Amino acid sequence: MAEAAASGWPEPVVRVQALSESGAATIPERYVRPEAERPSSAAATVDTDGGVNIPVVDLSSPGSAATARAVAEACREWGFFQAVNHGVPQALLRRARGVWRGFFHQPMEVKQRYANSPATYEGYGSRLGVDKGARLDWGDYYFLHVRPPHLLSYDKWPYLPPDLRETTEEYSREVKGLCERLMAAMTTGLGVGEGRLQAAFGGEEGAGVCVRVNYYPRCPQPELTLGLSSHSDPGGMTVLLVDDRVKGLQVRRANAWVTVQPVCDAFIVNVGDQIQVLTNAVYRSVEHRVMVNAADERLSIALFYNPKSDLPVAPLPELVSPERPRLYMPMSFDEYRLYIRRNGPRGKSQVDRLAQINKDDKPAGGSDSPLAVASDLLRPSQPHRHHRKDVTDPDHPSAIHEPRRNTVVDKDPRPPHRLPRRRPRPVVPEPPPRYLRDPLVALFPF
Ligand SMILES: O=C(O)CCC(=O)C(=O)O
């Protein structure tokens, strides 16, 4: 316990791989999901054997109008697609999978040298979030930063297997290049000026890159648990390399979960919350989750491509119109991550909640600065006073275009001359934003 407390976790960390290798026939209670969240629940599962799958997009001519159209359609309709002919060498994909499988197959004491803590999340981990007694996912992971350069620290990268660092570096460089090509295609597909999305990320140099390698050991009761709970990705875009042989990823489609059938050596690309905000919800981040199974372990490598963390992110003005009003306040990725960390992964409710807040009145104090919104949003365990509890339905975007509600003053039945006068508010200097004081936020594992 002393060891766990020193590492910053609220309780001793249990490696899922160790549970799996113990040979127990049942999983501990903490991994059992509530009935409605289980893979076996009544929510329909559409298996790809039935022919439904996320779109497949050929990137062999990444700069062409046809590619831009296909990428845009997939981002609008699904928020997900599989990219083939993406330009990242197959041999590198196999090496990347190989070195990381090699890492997880080392003896536990070797991996434990890289045990992570919630202070940075970098390293070998088995849980996301620090809520004591939280329900846990059936998976271990390795998280590391690649960009910006000041966050890269090779001593947090495993030095065994011997070619892991070099391979991971090459892999991240290549996939970052792919992200830049995808950003260009997404921008053309939106019909906005060249480079607009990339500029909103702080340019190619400003964008952040981090990698999470997910390792899902075999599970004796896969019908009761999840490898990764349902979530949308908070960052910009995710490029995921999955296991070719073992299925597991499920994508939300209306009220069903579509099990993705991986195409050999393709990447799975998905829109994150930041691109949803920038595009004023033209492109949509979509909930997904991971199933585990009893027969096979599974490994996936997620590269998260994020906006520069202190830039305000807001809908591009050219995507805002009277017919499609601005859905989101400006908020930096740092502020947003802090919000997520406080609230924990909750499907898609966070980004939809931001839209709701913008639709309602401005925060108390009359300011619509990002900090005012963020600090109001982030106040722990106090619902936003302007926020309706119901979240918008991600599958019915028109639901988020209702007219603004009237303010309390507008509803006052008395004639205008009898309205009480508002006293000017005293000017109180703002304290430094909480996210700047919180050592965890800049390093949350996305
Ligand atoms: O392992 C997978 O297929 C998905 C991983 C994922 O969603 C993530 O790392 O955010």
Chain segment 57-113, per-residue pLDDT in tens: 999 999 999 999 999 999 999 999 999 999 999 999 999 999 999 999 999 999 999
C-alpha pair distances (Å), 272 with each of 13, 132, 286, 420: 29, 28, 8, 45
Tokens linked to 445: 């594992």
Q: Could you tell me if the CB of 140 is within 6 A of ligand 1?
A: no
State the distance from the centre of ligand 1 to the C-alpha of 83, rounded, in angstroms: 16
The pLDDT tens digits of the residues spanning 134-158 come to 999 999 999 999 999 999 999 999 9
The one-character DSSP state at 147 is E
Confidence of residue 376 (pLDDT cuts 50, 70, 90): very low
Q: Could you tell me if the CB of 212 is within 6 A of ligand 1?
A: yes
Nearest-angstrom CA–CA distance, 136 and 349: 20
Q: Could you tell me if the CB of 214 is within 6 A of ligand 1?
A: yes
The pLDDT tens digits of the residues spanning 18-65 come to 999 999 999 999 999 999 999 987 666 776 666 678 999 999 999 999
State the distance from the centre of ligand 1 to the C-alpha of 301, rounded, in angstroms: 8
Where do the domains of the chain lie, and which CATH numbers do they carry? 16-313 (2.60.120.330)
C-alpha pair distances (Å), 37 with each of 31, 45, 92, 157, 331: 12, 12, 36, 34, 31
Say whether 123 sits in a helix, a strand or coil.
strand
Q: Who wins on pLDDT, 434 or 256?
A: 256
Ordered DSSP codes for 175-217: HHHHHHHHHHHHHHHHTPPTTHHHHHTTHHHH-EEEEEEEEE-
Q: Could you tell me if the CB of 370 is within 6 A of ligand 1?
A: no
Cβ atoms 273, 308 nearer than 8 A: no
Paired residues of 380 in beta bridges: none
Q: Could you tell me if the CB of 357 is within 6 A of ligand 1?
A: no
Q: Could you tell me if the CB of 251 is within 6 A of ligand 1?
A: no
Instruction: Give the gyration radius of the chain's Cα atoms.
Output: 22
Q: Could you tell me if the CB of 240 is within 6 A of ligand 1?
A: yes
State the distance from the centre of ligand 1 to the C-alpha of 231, rounded, in angstroms: 9
Atom of ligand 1 minimally distant from the CA of 300 = 1
Q: What is the pLDDT of residue 268?
A: 98
Angle, vertex CA 118, rays to CA 112 and CA 120, nearest 5: 90
Cβ atoms 21, 29 nearer than 8 A: no
Nearest-angstrom CA–CA distance, 307 and 134: 30
Amino acid in position 249: L
C-alpha pair distances (Å), 22 with each of 15, 27, 56, 102, 319: 11, 11, 39, 20, 54
Atom of ligand 1 minimally distant from the CA of 249 = 3
State the distance from the centre of ligand 1 to the C-alpha of 268, rounded, in angstroms: 10
State the distance from the centre of ligand 1 to the C-alpha of 151, rounded, in angstroms: 22
- What long-range pairs does 90-96 form, CB within 8 A, spacing at least 24? 90/265, 92/167, 92/170, 92/171, 92/174, 93/171, 93/241, 93/265, 95/163, 95/167, 95/171, 96/167, 96/168, 96/171, 96/241, 96/301
Atom of ligand 1 minimally distant from the CA of 242 = 3
In the block, which residue shows the tokens 């309709």?
A: 77
Atom of ligand 1 minimally distant from the CA of 268 = 3
The pLDDT tens digits of the residues spanning 316-356 come to 999 999 999 999 999 999 888 877 765 555 556 556 666 66
Q: What is the pLDDT of residue 18?
A: 98
Atom of ligand 1 minimally distant from the CA of 302 = 9
Q: Could you tell me if the CB of 229 is within 6 A of ligand 1?
A: no
State the distance from the centre of ligand 1 to the C-alpha of 221, rounded, in angstroms: 20
End-to-end CA distance of the chain: 28
pTM assigned to the model: 0.81
State the distance from the centre of ligand 1 to the C-alpha of 300, rounded, in angstroms: 7
Distance of CA 315 to the CA centre of its chain: 18
Residue bearing the CA closest to ligand 1, atom 8: 302
Residue bearing the CA closest to ligand 1, atom 6: 302
State the distance from the centre of ligand 1 to the C-alpha of 6, rounded, in angstroms: 29
The pLDDT tens digits of the residues spanning 384-434 come to 322 222 222 222 322 222 222 222 223 333 344 444 455 655 555 444 333
Q: Could you tell me if the CB of 335 is within 6 A of ligand 1?
A: no
In the block, which residue shows the tokens 């329909």?
A: 44
Q: Could you tell me if the CB of 249 is within 6 A of ligand 1?
A: yes
